[in-house]
Structure 1
Amino acid sequence: MPTLLQPDSVDLSALIRPGDTVLWGQANAEPLPLTAALMVQRQRIGRFRVMLGIANSATCRPEHADCIDFLAYCGAGANRELANAGVLDILPCHYSQLPEMIRSGALRIDVLLLQLAPADGNGRYSLSLAHEYLLPALDSARVVIAEVNQQAPRTYGERTLGADDIDFILHSDRAPLENPPSRIREADAQIAWHIAGLVEDGATLQMGIGAIPDAVLGALADHHDLGVHSGSLGDGVARLMQSGAITNARKSLDRGVSVGGILLGSRLLHDFAHDNPAILLRSTAYTHDPDVLASQERLVAINSAVEVDLSGQVNSEVAAGGYIGAVGGALDFLRGARRSHGGLPIIALPSTAGSASRIVARLSGPVTIPRSEAGLIVTEHGVADLRGLSLRQRLRAMLDIAHPTHRASLEEQFARHG
């Protein structure tokens, strides 16, 4: 049986050793009472490492690097402040690689912190807001410490936990973190309109994170029998399921069920997912599996980028010298959509950021997605389908979706640099 921790006297220094790596559920799955205690007690523990995903809280601060080495697969959310302060190290890997890295010990996880929903009548705990890479960590961590939150939604998932899976439990009663609504601009809405015109009834959707994927879901309200197989599920999925646009009735796999790895939304999503068998959370090993993705007919993968060059190379990681994105799962899903019968591998982005073009002659950051994997690039100015196009043909297609004020200079730069 797990040991019960008292809220006013949680001593993590007795459970975490110097040199340990600590992992917890990312974004809204963060067990805030445990992570807050960890930061306060860091000096009593000695130097250790924290592996971060998306950070929706201000738990980890640059000053905490006095005792903590911060590692993350992304620069999203509050991680950006750590990156700007020079105290965040980046693990540049595809999202699909995380489970095996954890299982093999290449990414060693010693201590796992979880947020769980209360136990059901059979004494089983739901992992609530996230499955994804937490499952391999459950099997490899030396210590599992769980916050059992009275207000965490009880979700259907690949796995539930029994008392023997948990070493320590802290009971709480708090509203989970929420994602603020995206600010959808006119360019985002135009991009969404272009993409919605490409999506057939009965298609299965994968959406990245941010304003454009949210705008696309809003533009699909008149579609029928859409399905979902995605790394994350947001408020837009809940709304389309409530309206009947998403039924999952025509999916090749997991018919009748929206599949995701994590819930990234507001209380609207949390309430909708609570005890709802039409939403199923799965591990990253399943949501990003290449054979699973290829088996979903008409898989439409919609992901964003920082910039795309005129040959179709994509930078999804660095902007203005700062690490703000991730290698993430975009390439996993783009490859899956390319293999899917009738699938659409889409990268979507506004044509400009301020006065600067996001369609560029040369990338200012790393090549996250090579041009050999280029599919459809969408801006507010149209769709460039690069599949089967030569480099010369791609140049014209990409110029056509760049902002008109930048097209001449882009062509000149391309000619100058070859």
Structure 2
Amino acid sequence: MESTAIDFDGLIRPGDTIMWGQSHAEPVTLMRALVRARRRLARIRVFLGIGFAEVLEPEHADSIDFLAYCGSGSNRKLARAGVLDILPAHYSQLPGLIRSRALRVDVVMLQVSPPDAQGRHSLGLAREYLVEAVKGARTVIAEVHPGVPWTFGGPYLRASDLDLLVRSDAAFPEHPKNAPGEIEQAIGRHVADFVDDGATLQTGIGAIPDAVLAALADRRELGVHSGSIGDGIAALAQSGAISNARKTIDAGITVGGVLIGSERLRRFAHGNASLELRGTEYTHDPCVLGRIERFVAINSAVEVDLTGQVNAEVAAGTYVGAVGGVGDFLRAAQASRGGVPIVALPSTAGRHGRIVVRVSGPVTVPRSDACVIVTEYGAADLRGLSLAQRVPRMIAIAHPDHREQLERDARACSM
């Protein structure tokens, strides 16, 4: 049923949990309508990914309980206000949690593309955990947006599959401009040293992944199997550096879960049969990842300690990151033939060092999952190293102003 009005009566019930896509896949028109109707709907819960739309505010907690897997984007203000609860789960676990209803999803709100010639709407910019949620939700509501690309990968929905379909022309959130500076470019060059022709890449989003991808312009026959796909991937594909020809699974196809980027990325994705978006049960599944050779996983962190423990979640007491897919992808790269697990981060955040004696937040990646740690000062390959061997390698990539203190603190801790 297609409508221009949005009436949630009979579709959303008190106590329901509602899920929608993240970043540019947020159904902005439906979100705004939900916020307006929240008091009439009584208390509900929403599950959030990365927020870009700036629709949700802390005061909406008067009727909405906020649950998220991450503290990124507009979720940060909810976290700082103390109204955001966190589900600290590996991304690979989300489909199973939804399927078992340990993470109950009653209503799914989607942003979909205009239909193709066969009347099929694509999920457009995101599949991820939405694929499993659509299967089990009592109610599926969608907004169709003319700017959403028709992307391959399924599932495809017809109007008859939806309980309510509304039209939307809401502006896409402005894509954060993270132009790489000197530090990010230096990190990108160091990471690029670990990427050979024919490697299959996984990256996140932001200035450091963009700098890494820019440094790979001279590589050939690269592949992509990633959670997120951004403008940097589109640029490399259009330049010919990415062909996916040597991938050991999905040859010829760039595989991702969500598109996070600008209008350029949306144009690249529209009707592009060499790009497929898949559900999290595929993109992050260890059995699938285990079949990828030369898998290079490039992830970020809040801080890393001298033994290789990684905190990717909490900074200064606020939840700003996620467990997310970092553990899934790094462990897959460790096991991959010719693979490289990489954690890349600047050596400082303001005056504070990000190479530390002990992490100040949770251990997202344990030191037993040894990685290559990269800052603008170089790379510390911790694979196969003892704890005593790791300490000087890590201090060597810390900011020069912090190395002497790190050495003293390491001695005091008998490292």
TM range (shorter): over 0.9
1:311-345: CA deviation from partner (whole Å, max 9, x where unpaired): 00000001111110000101100011111110000
Out of 376-385 and 168-177, give the one that drifted further: 168-177
Output the amino acid matched with 2:35: M
- Out of 25-34 and 180-189, give the one that drifted further: 180-189
Q: Paired residue for 1:30, among 13, 22, 26?
A: 26
- Counterpart Cα distance in 1 of 2:74 and 2:139: 26
What does 1:109-120 correspond to in 2, within 5 Å? 109-120=105-116
Q: Is the 8 A contact 1:13 1:44 kept in 2?
A: no
Residue 293 (structure 1) shift: 1.3
Q: 1 CA distance for matches of 2:59 and 2:9?
A: 19
Helix, strand or coil for the counterpart of 1:156? coil
Amino acid at match of 2:3: L
Could you tell me how far 1:175 is from its partner in structure 2? 4.3
Counterparts of 2:397 and 2:55, CA distance in 1: 40
Indicate which of 127, 134, 141 corresponds to 2:137.
Answer: 141
Is 1:399 paired with 2:403? no
Secondary structure of the structure 2 residue equivalent to 1:409: helix
State the match for 1:408 in structure 2: 404
Please state how far the C-alpha of 1:14 moved relative to its aligned partner: 3.7
Counterparts of 2:287 and 2:13 in 1: how far apart (Å)? 39
- 1:10-36 Cα offsets, whole Å, 9 max, x none, are 122442111000101111001111000
Task: State the one-letter code of the partner of 1:346.
Answer: I
8 Å Cα contact 1:209-1:303 kept in structure 2: no
Contact preservation (8 Å) 1:131, 1:262? yes
Q: Report deviation, 1:181.
A: 2.4
2:267 match: 271
Alignment of 1:79-90 (within 5 A): 79-90=75-86
How far apart are the structure 2 equivalents of 1:13 and 1:189?
52
Distance 1:254 1:306, change over 3 A: same
2:11 counterpart (8, 12, 15):
15
Paired position in structure 1 for 2:49:
53
Q: Please give the alpha-carbon distance, in whole angstroms, between the structure 2 residues aligned to 1:173 and 1:363.
A: 44
Map of 2:202 onto structure 1? 206
Q: What pairs with 1:181-220 in structure 2 (closer than 5 Å)? A: 181-220=177-216
Question: 1:255-334 counterparts in 2 under 5 A?
Answer: 255-334=251-330
Provide the rounded CA distance (Å) in 2 between the counterparts of 1:188 and 1:121. 44
SS in 2 for 1:190: helix
Counting aligned pairs with the same residue, the percent is 60
Runs (4 or more) in structure 1 with deviation over 6 Å come to none
Whole-angstrom distance in 2 between the partners of 1:331 and 1:124: 35
Q: What per-residue deviation string (whole Å, max 9, x for no partner) do you get for residues 126-180 of structure 1?
A: 0000001001100111100010112211111132112332111002234433422
Secondary structure, in 3 states, of the residue corresponding to 1:96?
helix
Query: How far, CA to CA, are the matches of 2:139 and 2:92 in structure 1?
Result: 24
The count of corresponding residues between Structure 1 and Structure 2 is 414
Paired residue type of 2:79: A
The corresponding residue for 1:96 is 92
Greater CA drift, 287-296 or 336-345: 287-296
- What letter corresponds to residue 294 of structure 2 in structure 1? R
SS of match in other structure, 1:115:
strand
Distance 1:136 1:164 in 2: 19
Letter in 1 for 2:80: N
Q: Does 1:42 align with 2:69?
A: no
From 111, 120, 125, give the equivalent of 2:121. 125
Give a deviation string over 1:76-109, Cα, whole Å, max 9, x none.
Answer: 0000000000000000000111000001100000
Question: Which amino acid counterpart does residue 4 of structure 1 have in structure 2?
Answer: E
Q: 1:87 to 1:206 in 2, by over 3 A?
A: same
DSSP-derived class of the 2:368 partner:
helix
CA distance in 2, matches of 1:149, 1:45: 25
Which residue of structure 1 lines up, in the alignment, with residue 173 of structure 2?
177
Instruction: Please list the CA deviations of residues 182-216 of structure 1 after superposition, one character each: whole Å capped at 9, or x if unmatched.
Output: 13221111010011111100100000222111110
Contact 1:291 1:336 in 2 (8 A): no
Give secondary structure in 2 for the equivalent of 1:272. Answer: helix
Report if aligned partners of 2:228, 2:258 keep a CA contact under 8 Å in 1. yes
Kindly report which structure 2 residues correspond to 1:54-69, keeping only aligned pairs within 5 A, or say none.
54-69=50-65
Q: Which residue of 2 aligns with 1:224?
A: 220
C-alpha separation in 2, matches of 1:240 and 1:171: 34
> Retained in 2: the 8 A contact 1:294–1:341?
no
| 1:4 corresponds to | 2
CA contact (8 A) 1:13 1:41 kept: no
5+ residue gaps in structure 1? none
Tell me the SS of whatever aligns to 1:371. coil
CA distance in 1, matches of 2:360, 2:205: 22
Change (3 A) 1:175 1:153: farther
> Cα deviation per residue 1:287-319 (whole Å; 9 max; x = unaligned)?
001122121110000000000000000000011
Q: Does 1:375 align with 2:371?
A: yes
Distance in 2, Cα, partners of 1:114 & 1:355: 42
Q: For the residues of structure 2 that align with 1:118 and 1:183, how far apart are their CA atoms?
A: 32
**Alpha-carbon separation, structure 1, partners of 2:325 and 2:263:** 25
Q: Is residue 218–residue 241 contact of structure 2 (8 Å, CA) maintained in 1?
A: yes
Measure, in 2, the Cα distance between the counterparts of 1:99 and 1:288. Answer: 10
